[in-house]
Amino acid sequence: MGSSRGILEYGFTGRQLDVAAVLAARFGGAWLERAAKVADFFVDTLATPSGWVHPLYSLTAARPLFSCGDPGGPVMHYLGTSPAPGAYLRMMTEAVSDLLTCYQLFCERGDGRERWLETCRSFGDFLVRVQESDGGWYRAYTPDGEPLRSGEWFGGSPPDGKASTAAPVPFLLALAAELGGDDAAPLVAAAERAAAYVVAEQVEHDDYRGGTLDNPNVVDKEAALLAMKALLHLHSATGAVGWLGAAERAAKLAITWHSMWDVPLLPDTRVGRARVRSTGWGGINSTWGAGVTDIYSLFFLAELVTLSRRTGNQLYARVAELAAYGCQQILAHPVERFGFADDGMQPEGISFCDQGVDEGLIAKGETWGGLGWIYTAGTSGLTAYLDALRGQEAHGVRRTPG
């Protein structure tokens, strides 16, 4: 990671545009100007005529980077190799979703930035154009829309290769709602086809894998949470009851990744001294189970609250509450900074066992991680959760951070 300090990341573990929206909404003034610069840079430098977008930029090399197959070699923790340069679909989707949030934020302040919306529209057209006949999307694409599907990082089978199909659904629905009229119809239709694929290939088999881009093809909580979110948002957009039932089925599995009891701590570790409790923390993947946890669930707490209200089952809201409280325990403060440099910083997660220590990674009682997504999970994710508690249900990507 030392060689990655000069890389700006948009989507997945680095959310530049989301940070821009959060700061602009909370503080206004100069932060609105700064957010506009961030969005303009993305549109001017990382968007392409085909609608495909670069999710990475190297300040050192002064050029956009490909998240897979980059001519300079593997980038950051995206270790997949490819004969053709491309980008992960989930990264592109999250980046442009955040751009749409920025556009909506500025519109609310009477300052519509149509170039930003056109980039969102162009990416929506790209998604519709490259969608497979079965409704799925592959994990990664070249700028001209060719899917990358060779090598273990892109799936060992066709269903594995399309594991990210749920990710674009909320964006397509939010863009459709923004555009309205005839422009919305193909976007909603693409979202419905994708959701049908997710139900058939993932939900009906209770098999969710490949959600975390740096842990290919293993079962993980993010894939289940992404499926839940996509199906719930489609229910919001269409009112079709079937999507709600499928969202709940995905959620039932997703919440099982969260610890419901406190693992005994080693007393002489940083976590032990701070008396951090494991209840509410989410395990990452089937390699480490719930022995190594992170705070990624914070991005989905609003959907869990909405799901509870619509189904009448308070279990989902209760798990969301446990995750919201649990993950705040390692937020750096003056008495205990958990190894970080300043107040308000936060590790990615906690190890409650030694499952990673044999690989020279994470030992029991340690905190770990320093990627950018941690802060957007703790700002946008928790803000959306608090909004949901106040009755503002999760729809699309629009939200009012602050």
Assess whether pLDDT exceeds 60 at residue 395.
Answer: no
User: Nearest 5 degrees, angle CA 363-CA 366-CA 371?
Assistant: 110
What pLDDT, on the 0 to 100 scale, is given for residue 287? 81
Structure tokens at 140: 């990664």
Whether 174 and 398 have beta carbons less than 8 Å apart is answered as: yes
Using CA atoms, how far apart are residues 292 and 283, in angstroms rounded to an integer? Answer: 6
Assess whether pLDDT exceeds 90 at residue 216.
Answer: no
pLDDT bin (cut points 50, 70, 90) of residue 143 is very high
Dump pLDDT digits (tens) for 368-394: 877 888 889 989 999 999 999 998 655
Q: Which CATH number fits domain 1-237: 3.30.1050.10, 3.40.50.970, 1.50.10.10, 3.40.50.300?
A: 1.50.10.10
Assess whether pLDDT exceeds 90 at residue 10.
Answer: yes
What pLDDT, on the 0 to 100 scale, is given for residue 373? 87
Q: For residue 11, report the phi and psi dihedrals to the nearest 5 degrees.
A: 100, 155
Structure tokens at 227: 């499926």
Assess whether pLDDT exceeds 50 at residue 213.
Answer: yes
pLDDT bin (cut points 50, 70, 90) of residue 398 is very low
Dump pLDDT digits (tens) for 182-210: 999 999 999 999 999 999 999 999 999 88
Where do the domains of the chain lie? Answer: 1-237, 258-402
- For residue 315, give the amino acid letter: L
What pLDDT, on the 0 to 100 scale, is given for residue 105? 97
Using the CB atoms, write b or e for 288-300: b if 16+ within 10 Å: bebbbbbbbbbbb
Dump pLDDT digits (tens) for 58-100: 999 999 999 999 998 888 888 778 889 999 999 999 999 999 9
Structure tokens at 41: 């840079």
Percent of the chain residues topping a pLDDT of 70: 95
Number of residues in the chain = 402
Assess whether pLDDT exceeds 80 at residue 401.
Answer: no
Using the CB atoms, write b or e for 107-131: b if 16+ within 10 Å: eeeeeebeebbebbbbbbbbbbebb
Using CA atoms, how far apart are residues 186 and 182, in angstroms rounded to an integer? Answer: 8
Mean pLDDT of all residues belonging to the chain: 91
CA distances from 247 to 94, 135, 198, 199, 309 (A): 20, 17, 10, 9, 13
Using CA atoms, how far apart are residues 178 and 172, in angstroms rounded to an integer? Answer: 10
Assess whether pLDDT exceeds 60 at residue 35.
Answer: yes
Structure tokens at 70: 């980059």
Mean pLDDT check: name the lowest of 90-99, 131-140, 263-272: 263-272
